[in-house]
Structure 1
Amino acid sequence: MKNTPQIPAPTAAPPMRPETPIGAGPVPRRRKRSMLVLGVLVTLVGVLGTSMLVRSAGDRVDVLAVTRDVPAGQEITAEDLTTAALPNDPALAPVKASEKSSVIGRRATAPLHRGELLTDAQIHGGKALPAGQELVAVEVQRGAAPVDALAPGDQVKIVSTPGKDEQVSKQMPEEIEAQIVKVGAPNASGAVVVQVSVAGTDSSLVAARAATGRVAIVLASKG
């Protein structure tokens, strides 16, 4: 009699672990508090940023701007100026609108162009000239003026110089007394533009001679 193999009885399957629904569990109280604090901080940062932008936009100053072109040497009038509001930037140095009355009557020491801000450098030394005096720009060539020694207020003489092929006259060359108003910077060839104040009766003659480029400036003793 053959032995029949015995089949082991099936074992009972272990009970299945119930699935936990995603997000069903309660959020810990500590996490809720952290999220609340983070939300408050974000709100505060937004409020502070908006406040700073509003404050910076409101921190403006009134300055002077040019309404029309003004040649160098011309007297500045009220019609040449207007008021503009700009942020208070230390990098900018325009003339404040409150100084308008002191600017009117001064002469531009550099060309003023419509739409630009008026700076002190454009009017520095350009105070109103005494009665009977006029401003003339004289360009002197290299070596024709003691440029390094000239300063606003110096008394000088404008002297005509001979041409390249002309002989020097033994007679005293004609001199015109003047006062230095501003000394420019040398250009590439070494020529310098010097603004001088001269009597109204001599201004046309000085301008005509300056146009030829044959002038020299002699510095009088400063005593």
Structure 2
Amino acid sequence: MKNSTSQIPAPTAAPMQPETPIGAGPVPRRRKRSMLVLGVLVTLVGVLGTSMLVRSAGDRVDVLAIARDVPAGQEITAEDLTTAALPNDPALTPVKASEKASVIGRRATAPLHRGELLTDGQFHGGKTLPAGQELVAVEVQRGAAPIDALAPGDQVKIIATQGKDEQVSKKGPAPEEIDAQIVKVGAPNASGAVVVQVSVAGTDSSLLAARAATGRVAIVLASKG
């Protein structure tokens, strides 16, 4: 007879229990109170910062700035201007935005560049010519005027020149001169000729226009001092 052997099942390992960290427990009441105080302080700082920003914004003033480049002598349009908010500083003297209507139509006395503030000295003092003055456009050929040196406001003399086939006589009368003031200097065309707008006395405007129509005039720049 075979001996029957009874098999005893192996003991089952008990599941491991996670260790409880030493010192773990509810957050101390003192730590909660400190965090509450810190939160209140952060809120107060935010409120004070916002108040200061609002107060500083109230001290700002709207002024005029240049929205796009404007050549010297060109009329200023509404599209050339924009507004900017600046601190009300007595050391700054830009034109206020409320004066925009009085600036439109005036001529720039110097090139205006995008992004810069507009000041009183950057445009002509009036929209119209002085009393007794008239505007005449004069086209001068290449080499007949110091174009690079001319700027709005310059005092010049406009002189009738001889034709290519005419001889200049030293014994003849001196060419007549017409006093004028530069208003705007155009860009050279393909042949190098430039149209210059000048302000002259009303008594000389017809004569100058007739001379300018011949294309035989020269511009002489007077001393700028």
TM-score normalised by the chain length of structure 1:
0.51
- The 10-residue stretch of structure 1 (202-211 or 128-137) with the greater mean CA deviation from structure 2: 202-211
- What are the ranges of 5 or more consecutive residues in structure 1 without an aligned counterpart? none
Q: 1:53 to 1:112 in 2, by over 3 A?
A: same
Paired residues of 1:110 and 1:122 also in contact (CA < 8 A): yes
Gaps of 5+ in 2: none
Residue deviations 1:91-121 (CA, integer Å, cap 9, x gap): 9985226778996997666999999997646
Q: Which residue of 2 aligns with 1:85?
A: 85
Per-residue deviation, 1:40: 2.3
Q: CA distance change for structure 1 residues 12 and 147 in 2, over 3 Å: closer, same or farther?
A: closer
Distance 1:213 1:65, change over 3 A: farther
**SS at structure 2 position matched to 1:16:** coil
The answer to whether the 8 A contact 2:73-2:183 is kept is no
Superposition deviation, residue 132 in structure 1 = 0.8
User: Structure 1 residues 83, 45: closer, same or farther in 2, change over 3 A?
Assistant: closer
Shift in Å, 1:47: 1.6
Which shows bigger deviation, 181-190 or 46-55?
A: 181-190
Q: Is the 8 A contact 1:73 1:135 kept in 2?
A: no
What root-mean-square deviation, in Å, do the aligned CA atoms of Structure 1 and Structure 2 show? 7.3
Q: 1:61 to 1:164 in 2, by over 3 A?
A: farther
Measured against aligned partners, the alpha-carbon deviations of 1:175-212 in whole angstroms (never above 9, x if no partner) come to: 32213456678789866664432011333553565567
* Distance of 1:117 and 1:195 partners within structure 2: 27
Contact kept, 8 Å, 1:95 with 1:120, in 2: the verdict is yes
The verdict on how the C-alpha distance between 1:78 and 1:175 changes in structure 2, with shifts beyond 3 A counting, is same
Task: Please say which of residues 108-117 and 201-210 is displaced more in the overlay.
Answer: 108-117
Higher alpha-carbon deviation: 145-154 or 86-95: 86-95
The TM-score, its normalising length taken from structure 2, stands at: 0.50
